Structure 1
Amino acid sequence: MGTPAGTDAEFQSRNEDPVQAPTPTAAHTRTARVALVGIHGFGAHHLRNLERLQAAGAVELVAVADPQLPAPGAVPATAAVFPGLTQLLAETRDLDVIIVATPIQTHAPLGLAALATEADVYLEKPPVASLADFNTLCEAAQRSGRSVQIGFQSLGSHALAAIEELLASGAIGTLQGVSATGRWVRDRAYYKRSRWAGKRSIDGVDVVDGVATNPLAHAVATALRIAGARTMADVASVETDLYRANDIESDDTSVIRIRTAAGLPVTCALTICATESVEPYVTLQGSAGQAVFHYTEDRLTVTTAAGQTEQLFGRDDLTENLIAHRQDGTPLISPLLDSGAFMLVLEAIRTAPLPALIGSEHIQWVGEGDAAHAVVVGIEDALDRATQEHATFRELGLPWAP
């Protein structure tokens, strides 16, 4: 299991805890018995959140699993520690929820094993590493009758309901397009943190650890949700334009252009080779204005002829939402089937040709040793043009995108 795929989740930039959730109330009528698979990397964030929920009486963390032992005091003394999910399930009964926060390539087998129990499942993003695995997981969930929540935390933002109201009101006119912009910095050490980092596959097993499928996956998922694309049926086409500045297999600088079944363009321009890291955002392009949603901050800015407004929103915790769903039927915020649109994006990236290597003359290296990071020259302007024009880097005629 090792380092979780969610180690690089966008929400680490917001604060120490990836969620800003309200304290559970008396509505939680039963303490949920929870197991956590993967306790390092982003799994550590789940640990902290479970400690919060346990202190409030909403959950009991009864067991954790990871081949790497926890640091002293990292796991509550009342929780049993196992080297893997197989051992955990052999010795742990009556689980209500199993949280899987492990490397991408392990999501499918661990998710299927969890669904073979009586527990509901929280599976970190991306759900799995191929469309075939996604279909298998969906079929298993349907057979078992269990619920699966996918860890796209941004979808818990109350701003999404406000955006729906904004569009319904016609305040920014007719929605003409949606775009996602991600400008981050990742150094050489980032790709040395685990054997799967930056890989398309390991020993024939799909990993698909690209900029759009892992570090900035929330940008893609949030843009799709705002555009009304949840399931596979909501997507008409996906185009990819993939590049890499780093010495890796996967893409680190890309444009993903999606057209929804309703004909709306959704363009995601993403890089982890920027000059500096900034908060990623989703832009709604309307005929009479625009709205910009900084999803890691739950901040929505609306600009029309009447002026500009900005508002901050709260967010629901996905673990708490899953527990409420199990107890009283509260709708899931990020159900498995609603990741279908995202999985079509991942599949397009998985099956695309190898990312093109950006020429060294178009890259600047900043820093020394493992702390050095690549900067694609002019990338900020390229991202802006791609999202504004809904164009790929190649269509823009960039010198490093032949």
Structure 2
Amino acid sequence: MNIASSSPVPRAAVIGVSGYGRIHLQLLRECRARGEIKLTAAVVINPQDEAENIAELRAHGCAIYDTYEAMLAHEAGQIDLCLIPTGIHWHAQMTLHALRAGANVLVEKPLAAAAADIEAIDRAERETGRFVAVGFQDYYESGTQWLKEQIHRGAIGELRAVRFLGIWPRPRSYYLRNNWAGRLHVGAQSVLDSPLNNAFAHFVMLGLYFAGAGRDDAAAAVIEGAELYRAHAIESFDTAVVRLRTDREVRLWLGASHCCRPQFEPEIKLIGTAGSAGWSYENEAWVTTATGDSIRRRVADITGARREMMAAVLARLRDPRVRVCRPAIARRHAEMVLALHAHSAITPVSSDLLAWSGDAGSDAAIPIVNGLEEAMHSAYRRHTSLQDAGFAPAPEALKA
């Protein structure tokens, strides 16, 4: 059992109630209404914007703190679960602090943006005896776990290839919403924000998870080729196609973009020696055997997946056998992102390939890269590079 406090109901805390913190706060409200937790502490760094939430929290006996350091110092040993729905560059630092204060942790994805931080979390988890669950919500979803079980049991034979594609157009305002969107670093802290490390990180991680050899493993993979582009005025990339290979010779193809239309909801396809399988965002998972027999399972929408995540994390407090997305799984995604930035270059999209939807000068404008959408789909179907699919702009590349 991982209950730190003497309370019969687990005591929870949350760092941040704005932005993505609103989602975690709503999950906590739902759990509180069912009597599953006591929300005893919250960090609110912008009280002038959150007066209504502060009043509600205090009415339920929740202490409000200005900083996470103050909260964890004052509440040390009294928090069973600390939720960390903050910016990427805060994940590791806050997770380590919460573990050392005696709390178990649910931290938003990704796990971390630096190799040393990944190792530090691993050590702290072992030293404190607490657990870290990473908020890749689709991992916890029942249809996802059903599909992993089918692959692990050999329903499609030996897994040979995994492909993922997602296209979500994003306007300028997406990169203006905070001080780290599209950034590689904030001060001395690594961020490495990108479609693969943020909006589509969930599905990249699922691809690695499905490719993992064990039932509860994600695969480590070596990058064989990477094409990174940026159309927005950012440091990082907003379009990527990455080809990888695992030590079991499973080939992975990962493609994502914020810079073309129409939208294409995330989809993962898996090819085996005796069948195929797939996973479709907020839709379904399926397995088709070599004989043509097909089995399908519903995949919950994002709200349902988040609720399953929260239920699993709360259950893990009392039962260590409950499956959560542990650092040992989530690190495979983080390691891939780190390798990508260490060894790949980002190519700015030249202006002659770029059009903007709507008013080109407004924050609502979306960059549309000529020829990219067709090339993304072609490369996805054929498991090739964008260049082989006919998209090969060649301005001077900049190091990621």
What's the TM-score, normalizing by structure 2? 0.86
> 1:132 maps to what in 2?
116
Match for residue 258 of structure 1?
Answer: 244
In the alignment, the residues of structure 1 paired with residue 267 and residue 218 of structure 2 have an alpha-carbon distance, to the nearest angstrom, of 25
1:361-376 matched pairs, under 5 angstroms: 361-368=352-359, 369-376=362-369
Q: Give the 3 Å change call, closer, same or farther, for CA 108–229 of structure 1 in structure 2.
A: farther
Counterpart Cα distance in 2 of 1:274 and 1:361? 15
Residue equivalent to 1:141: 125
Q: What residue is the counterpart of 2:269 in the other structure? A: 283
* 1-structure distance, mates of 2:233, 2:126: 41
Give the 3-state SS of the residue equivalent to 1:371 in structure 2. Answer: coil
Structure 2 equivalent of residue 335 of structure 1: 326
CA contact (8 A) 2:223 2:340 kept: no
Distance 1:359 1:288, change over 3 A: farther
Specify the code of the residue in structure 1 equivalent to 2:21: G
Q: Note if 1:271 corresponds to 2:250.
A: no
Corresponding position of 1:241: 227
Deviation at 1:380?
A: 2.7
Give the conservation status (yes or no) of the 8 Å contact 1:249–1:355.
Answer: no
2:210 to 226, 231, 246: 226
Contact kept, 8 Å, 1:184 with 1:278, in 2: the verdict is: yes
Structure 2: unaligned runs, 5 residues or longer: 1-6, 396-400
Helix, strand or coil at the partner of 1:280: strand
Separation in 2, partners of 1:367, 1:233: 41
Q: Return the alpha-carbon distance in structure 2 between the equivalents of residues 113 and 67 of structure 1.
A: 17
Equivalent residue runs for 1:39-54 within 5 Å: 39-54=17-32
**CA-atom RMSD, angstroms?**
2.5
Q: Structure 2 vs 1, CA of residues 168 and 348 (structure 1 numbering), >3 Å: closer, same or farther?
A: closer
Alpha carbons 1:182, 1:271 under 8 Å: kept: yes
1:67 positional shift: 1.3
What is the CA distance between 1:229 and its match in structure 2? 6.2
| Mapped contact 2:151–2:210 kept (Cα < 8 A) | no
Q: CA deviation at 1:278?
A: 3.0
370, 377, 398: which is aligned to 1:377? 370
Relative to structure 1, the CA distance from residue 306 to residue 353 in structure 2 (aligned partners, 3 Å threshold; closer, same or farther) is closer
Q: Which residue matches 1:345?
A: 336
**More displaced stretch, 253-262 vs 190-199:** 253-262
Please tell me the residue identity of whatever aligns with 1:175.
L
Counterpart of 2:12 (choices 10, 23, 34) is 34
Identity across matched positions, percent: 30
**Contact 1:30 1:58 (C-alpha < 8 Å) held by counterparts:** no
1:370 & 1:103 partners in 2: Cα distance? 22
Separation (CA, whole Å) in 2 of partners of 1:163 and 1:391: 25
Q: Classify 1:165/1:206 alpha carbon distance in 2 versus 1 (closer, same or farther; 3 Å).
A: closer
Q: Match for 1:250: what amino acid?
A: S
In 2, the alpha carbon distance for the partners of 1:175 and 1:90 equals 48
The aligned runs of 1:2-401 (5 Å cut-off) are 30-69=8-47, 71-74=50-53, 75-76=56-57, 77=59, 78-93=61-76, 94-167=78-151, 172=156, 174-228=158-212, 234-239=219-224, 240-287=226-273, 289-295=275-281, 297-302=282-287, 306=292, 310-313=296-299, 315=305, 317-368=308-359, 369-400=362-393
Cα distance in 1 for partners of 2:239, 2:233 equals 13
The structure-2 alpha-carbon separation of the partners of 1:329 and 1:236, relative to structure 1 and needing over 3 Å to count, comes to closer
Q: Aligned partners of 1:229, 1:107: CA distance in 2, in Å?
A: 28
SS at match of 2:209: helix
SS of match in other structure, 1:181: strand
SS, match of residue 139 in structure 1: helix
**Against the structure 1 CA distance between its residues 123 and 245, is the aligned structure 2 distance closer, same or farther, given a 3 Å change threshold?**
same
Partner SS, residue 110 of structure 2: coil
